[in-house]
Structures are given as structure tokens and as C-alpha cells.
Amino acid sequence: MHYGLINAAEATIEVDNGLHRINERACFRATVTGKTTGSFDVFLRIRDTWRSYIDTTSIVPQRFFRNIEENNYRRRETVDFDHFNDMAQMERHGKDKNKIKRGTYKVPDNVQDLVSGFYFLRTLNYDQRRIGEVIRVQGFFDEDVFSMDVVYKGRETVETKAGTIRAIRLVPKMPSNKLFKGENAISVYLSDDRNKIPVLIQAEMFMGAVKVDMYKYQGLKSRLNIVAHN
């Protein structure tokens, strides 16, 4: 992750090799970890883990977990989803581990969490999508149900530290906020192949531009769609 010319942080997105059984369902385990690096780590130390157990058949989350460590702030949370009854059960621990918050929430059909929603977008066939078409994803996060519209912007070729890659561009519409500059502030690029892995994320923020750039990958099932240079 780059803030201007500064390397600010790095993240790893990983799918476990094996399957996990959650709520009597076979699940993929997808984990996102992020940490600050260099000078950013001195004044804004971040060590975050986000994990989703995603039903292999329906591509919805059976369980969502996050562990947040940002300077002195701590939060550890688990959400279990009951898709038969459209309910979510949350258990949360803060810095004081003796204080536990629990809650039960009504959620929409086929609700996603932040990690599983991204993997759901990777399962879609973009050959059958029109440029400008809106994909609506309903999710549950931080005790609230949210609806996110993602616009398919077509195909582009992008430069990354891992090479020049043919990619699918998606733009999630952002609500008005004090962080991102307009509703089209974020562009997510997925490799235009069977992997559909994230290769580049660009964000226009009020305090400047942020770029998340892939520099290494391993264990892909299919060949990455890298442009050959003569």
C-alpha cells in the first residue's frame, strides 16, 4: 500500500488449502491480514486480521472473524450466520477482555460480510455484464446491514509490481463521507482470467491518493493474464 511515494502498509489475502466445517457446512477459509510498515508503523501501528468461512456451495459466509489492533485500540469479534432464518449472532471483546458484548440481528437473504462479499464478486461472469451495469451486494458489518452498489467499468490493462496485467475494473459506489473523494473514489482491479485475484486498488482520498499494488502471488490454480513485453 502506497501513500504517495511512501510505502505505508502491506496486506496478504490467503485461501486455506483445506476445507473447514462450520454450521455443518463445508467452507473455504479466506483470511486478510494487514500491517503498517516503515515510518507509518512508528506512529500508527496496525495489525489487523479479517477472516471469513465461506460456504463452498452458496458463496455466503457461515462465520466472520476479525481481530483489530490499531495503536491502543483492540477489538475481537465473531459473527455466526444462520441463513435459514436470516439471522446473525455476534460476540465482541474489547480491550477489557472481561467485557463481552453479544447481539442477534436480522439480516437479508444471502447476506455477505466484508471478506466474503469480495469473493462473491470474483465468482461472477463478467463476459455477460454490460459496462456500467450495477451489481448490488447486501452485507452485515459492525451491527448494521448495508447495501453496496458495485459498477462494472469494463476491462483495462494495469501496471503492477508483479507485471502488466489484463484486468476487470470494478467501482464500488461510496456514500458521502469524510475520507474518500466522491462516490467513485475507489477502483478495484481483478485479474481478467479464471483467478480473478485483486491486482490493484486505487483510492482518491481528501488527503491524497492511495494505491494498493500487488507485488507477489503464489498457489494460483490458473495462469495469471500477464501481458508479454517484447
Residue 27's pLDDT is 98
Three-state SS string across the chain, please? CEECCEECEEEEEEECCCCEEECCEEEEEEEEEEEECCCHHHHCCEEEEEEEEEECCCCCEEEEEEEEEECCEEEEEEEEEECCCCEEEEEEECCCCCCEEEEEEECCCCCECHHHHHHHHHCCCHHHCCCCCEEEEEEEECCEEEEEEEEEEEEEEEEECCEEEEEEEEEECCCCCCCECCCCCEEEEEECCCCCCEEEEEEEECCEEEEEECCCCCCCCCCCCECCCC
Longest dimension (CA), the chain: 61
Residue 178's pLDDT is 56
Q: What is the mean pLDDT of residues 171-177?
A: 73
Angstrom distance (rounded) from CA 137 to CA 118:
9
Give pTM, 2 decimals. 0.88
Pick the more confident residue, 2 or 132: 132
For cell 503498517, what's the residue?
A: 36
Angstrom distance (rounded) from CA 190 to CA 204:
18
The identity of residue 10, as a single letter, is: E
Q: Are 78 and 90 in contact (CB under 8 A)?
A: yes
Residue 101's pLDDT is 92
Residue 207's pLDDT is 63
User: Quick count: other Cβ atoms within 10 Å of Cβ 230?
Assistant: 2
Angstrom distance (rounded) from CA 78 to CA 218:
28
pLDDT tier at 1 (50, 70, 90 boundaries)? confident
Angstrom distance (rounded) from CA 126 to CA 107:
27
pLDDT tier at 204 (50, 70, 90 boundaries)? confident
Q: Does the pLDDT of residue 206 top 70, yes or no?
A: no
Closest C-alpha to 83, from 62, 104, 103: 62
Instruction: Supply φ then ψ for residue 98, to 5 degrees.
Output: -80, -15
In this predicted model, what pLDDT tens digit does every residue of 105-156 receive, in sequence order?
999 999 999 899 999 999 999 998 999 999 999 999 889 898 889 999 999 9
Residue 3's pLDDT is 75
Q: What is the mean pLDDT of residues 190-209?
A: 85
In this predicted model, what pLDDT tens digit does every residue of 36-67 receive, in sequence order?
988 888 888 999 999 999 999 999 999 999 99
